[in-house]
Amino acid sequence: MDCKYCHKTYRKKEMERHVHLECPRATVECLFQRFGCQQKFERSEEDEHMRREVVKHLSLLCYHFPVTNPLGPVKYYDISQSAPVISTLASITAPPTLGLSTDPGFCSDYSGTSTVYSTAPNRYPIAHSMEVQSSDAPLLPHTKPPTASCFPINIPHNSYEHQCRPNTFPLEPEPWRSEETTRELVTRLKLTVEDQKNQLKQQGMKLQQQERTIRQLDVQLKEVEGRFCNGIYIWRIREYSQKRKDAIERKATVHHSPGFYTSPHGYKMCIRANLNGVESGTGTHLSLFVHVMQGEYDEILPWPFLGHVVLSILDQTWRKTRYQ
């Protein structure tokens, strides 16, 4: 059978493997098709596509496998509603005395609780927006008691002490900190692609060598079959009707049999068949000719060839007629 892509001839049982795994002209999908890359190309262009679209493929991977932020997304709350603020601040509570040195809206109390006052605007980002630090120092000079716009939050010293761990979470979302990691990933992917390219190249060379070996063995097998036919060679013309139709249309008028020997060390010959006839027999006869070929032992054989050749045509219909 002929491959519809590269037009090389393979056995029927090998054709499916060739088309799906080997043919360089077959159309294939990108390895990242399941992640969104919809490009199709010939198998021989796959390496070039993978090298050219590295950034696109990484973007698709990042989209399908996002880096999870351990603190969750940034949330905004209305400062006029005390319950959400208390809940949010409680999740990031620091040790006993809390204060923000740059904001006069925070003050301390030494009565066993920590009181936090906020003079922030109505909507203020809670997560990843404040660096909370502990201090046992007295009140800063510029601190002031709560005003009408401040909402006190009384939190016992020991309530959430076990939850506070210094430097245990990033102050910025993880995706913004992964540029260096992405570069390393790209470098590793490039090295992996290059290594796989080299392996594919080596496998391709081995495959070509094996194909050459198979062709040589095929030629040797046919040579052996023709050499040890004991002077009787049977040539079966397959798909005769189609080939005769091609001969009538002058697409392929001549067919030759494989070479064969009259004996293991004898003359080498082949048969030529004109399925639509020649000269006066065109359109009405099958014309057969015997050609003497160059053989391996011609230098020890007598020339010219004076043997007797008999050609027989076997009719494979129910009549089983033999023509000589």
Rounded Cα distance, 105 and 102, in Å: 9
Residue by residue, pLDDT tens for the chain (324 residues) are 889 899 888 888 888 888 888 899 999 999 898 888 999 999 999 999 999 999 999 988 888 886 555 555 544 444 444 444 444 444 444 444 444 344 444 444 444 444 444 444 443 443 343 444 444 444 444 444 444 444 444 445 454 444 444 444 444 444 444 677 888 888 889 999 999 999 999 999 999 999 999 999 988 888 887 788 777 888 888 888 888 888 888 888 889 988 888 888 889 999 999 888 888 888 888 888 999 999 888 999 998 888 888 888 877 766 665 555
Strands 98-99 and 313-314, bridge-based pairing: unpaired
Residue 41 sits in the same domain as residue 129:
no
Residue 88 sits in the same domain as residue 133:
yes
Residue 162 sits in the same domain as residue 76:
yes
Identify whether 204 is part of a domain: no
- Dig out the tokens for 188 from the structure: 């590793």
Q: What angle do CA 182, 186, 189 make, to 5 degrees?
A: 135
Identify whether 258 is part of a domain: yes
Q: How many separate domains does the chain show? A: 3
- Dig out the tokens for 192 from the structure: 């992996």
Residue 14 sits in the same domain as residue 35:
yes
Last residue of a domain, one of 130, 157, 173: 173
- Dig out the tokens for 132 from the structure: 């909370």
Report the SS3 class of residue 154.
strand
Instruction: Give the closest residue to 185 by CA, choosing from 305, 69, 62.
Output: 62
In sequence order, the β-bridge partners of residue 118 are: none
Identify the domain containing residue 38 by its residue range. 1-67
Residue 253 sits in the same domain as residue 157:
no
Rounded Cα distance, 6 and 44, in Å: 11
Residue 82 sits in the same domain as residue 167:
yes
Rounded Cα distance, 215 and 264, in Å: 22
